[in-house]
Structure 1
Amino acid sequence: MCTGKCSRFVGLTLIPLSLLCILANALLLVPDGKTSWTDSRLSLQVWLLGGFVGGGLMVLCPGISAVRAGGKGCCGAGCCGNRCRMLRSVFCSAFGLLGAIYCLSVSAAGLRVGPKCLINGQWDYHFQDTSGSYLSNRTLWDACEAPPRVVSWNVTLFSLLLVVACLETVLCGVQLVNAALGVLCGDCRKKEGDQS
């Protein structure tokens, strides 16, 4: 596959994935769809904004860069083989890879530790000592009195962030290699070339 076409495909895949991360992180900030729980009652992993910063903004940059790298060369079709944009995409992809790994780490920690919730009048990380075993025991989930349904809310959204961050990690890695090949070899399209 042509490095330009591959860049465009990867970029067009990374952009919606990064927006999905931003949305998932925004939803984590409002358990049960209400903002009344945001006053120091959310877990640290929610406040680390792994989906917003890491999987979102830090991956949006390489997504846009990859789409641009898949377009015409900076001096016209074929003259420099699009090497300038591919070089920029190498750096952006490395940046995005770091962001995706950050999102992956925060999401995995969020699943392992569990949410901060109210049980027997005490706000705490009640599932922290289970090392993630609470995930398979749904009867424990009902022990949280507030916020309502916070465990299923966090598990669903952190799981979504984990899966998306894994995809972003793979795609940013692919684009890193693809863009490096594009810098070394140029774009395979002809001078009359198509822009797709």
Structure 2
Amino acid sequence: MSAAHKTNRTLNALGSASGSVLVLAAFIALWWAASTSGWVNRAFLPTPQATLQSLVQGLAGGDLAAYTWATLSRMFSGWVLASALGIALGALIGSSQRASEWIGPTLEFIRPLPASAVMPLAIALFGLSGGMVLAVVAFGAMWPVLLATLHGLATCTSSCARSRARWNSATWPSCSRSACPTPCPTSWPACGCR
């Protein structure tokens, strides 16, 4: 790589970064103008200074750090549960025609529901608890994983059938050994793993 090319890349990166900083500064200036001039009531839009003071107070002496940790731990637990359920259901539906016929329509009916629409049912089942939050987070995060696993298995099944036909091999064990690793490239990014 030449020095001129490195210089151009550095200047482009600096230009992108300075553009981002300018947009952020313009957003904060608009925020400040809207809150101090009275365009928006301060009860709904506090000034940037008041927001920063509240953030510092919440982190230093308040419960903000504990609440943030609780939120992050529930988010991570929900992600793990959603990944496990999405991969398990996707593998079951993608590898079994009967499971696809029985479970698939119900899941396709439930899939478009937003996670907030499931909250009343989750409250009825789990009460107002961490389990309810975990169930709602897992419900919302499961669908990309499930669909990616289904896609990976569908791709695997067709490529496996082509390989079997090409090599004149009708043995299922040779295909089943490759069935699990093949969907992984599509399932793991859906889980958030990169």
TM-score, L = length of structure 2: 0.28
Q: With CA pairs under 8 Å and 6+ residues apart, which has the higher RCO, 1 or 2?
A: 1
TM-score, L = length of structure 1: 0.28
Which structure has the greater CA radius of gyration? Answer: 2
